[in-house]
Amino acid sequence: MQKNSIMKDARTYADIPPEGRDTPNGYFYYPPTQGIQILFLIGAFFSAIFLGWLISNIAGIQSEFASGVIYFVFLLVFFLGYGSWVGLVSALAFSRIKWPLIKIIAKVFLRKEKPSSINDFLPEREKLIEMMVRIQKYSRTFLFTGWILGILGGLASLFMRSSMNPLLFFTLVFVSSVIYGHLLFHFGRRGYLPFPEE
């Protein structure tokens, strides 16, 4: 089952309108269609490659290895940010959905108690809405990876041979990484980046 289908079922259960909904935990943005999400995902990946190419050329890097390091910085922002986001979402889903489900299954097999309805398997409506908002907010992992890898990539750039002033090169790598992380967070928070299959 895809997490996208889980989110779709959850939105239906929680009565989320297409324009989204303001909640005590923050605004829930109604995600676009899966086709649009896939396009944004592909665009985000190729943006990392483009940024690596662009900065390598602007800085006039004289080594293929050093150029590869710059590419690697942006690709890591994408992959580590995405991986961390999925990890947080999986932990949240286990605590809010899977663990209660395990308890119900245990009652069925050990105590022979049958659930009264399908709602016994689902969290309460308000908790479900809170969970969906938290899933979108967890995309802030892109912010952290953007800052951390921006600093590490900037430090690495100080040891690279280029036609650019070392301090300016550091700033270029750092600022580009941070902006890229912020953009990924912006689109992830608004539901434009999909979750991979479980």
Integer Cα distance of 148 and 73 in angstroms: 10
4-20 pLDDT, tens digit per residue, is 444 554 554 456 666 67
Look at residue 98 and tell me if it is in a domain.
yes
Residues in the chain: 198
CB neighbour list of residue 143: distance below 8 Å, 6 or more residues apart:
181, 182, 185
Both tokens of 153, joined, read 């990539």
80 lies in which domain range? 32-166+182-189
How many C-beta neighbours within 10 Å does residue 117 have?
Answer: 7
What is the per-residue pLDDT for 97? 64
Look at residue 196 and tell me if it is in a domain.
no
Integer Cα distance of 37 and 193 in angstroms: 5
Look at residue 76 and tell me if it is in a domain.
yes
What is the domain count for the chain?
A: 1
Integer Cα distance of 121 and 126 in angstroms: 15
110-166 pLDDT, tens digit per residue, is 555 565 555 555 556 677 778 888 888 999 999 999 999 999 999 999 999 889 999
pLDDT above 60: residue 1 = no
Q: Say whether 79 sits in a helix, a strand or coil.
A: helix
Q: What is the per-residue burial (b if ≥16 Cβ within 10 Å, else e) of 24-55?
A: eeeebbebeeeeebeebbeebeebbeebbeeb
Look at residue 153 and tell me if it is in a domain.
yes
Look at residue 18 and tell me if it is in a domain.
no
* Contacts for 42-47: CB closer than 8 Å, 24+ residues apart: 44/78, 44/184, 44/187, 44/193, 45/78, 47/74, 47/180, 47/183
Beta bridge partners of 12: none
Integer Cα distance of 152 and 180 in angstroms: 15
Look at residue 42 and tell me if it is in a domain.
yes
96-126 pLDDT, tens digit per residue, is 665 555 555 555 555 555 655 555 555 566 7
Both tokens of 94, joined, read 């286990």
Q: What is the pTM of this model?
A: 0.78
Look at residue 26 and tell me if it is in a domain.
no
Look at residue 125 and tell me if it is in a domain.
yes
Residue 3: pLDDT band (50, 70, 90) is very low
Residue 84's nearest CA partner among 145, 37, 26, 31 is: 145
38-57 pLDDT, tens digit per residue, is 999 999 999 999 999 999 99
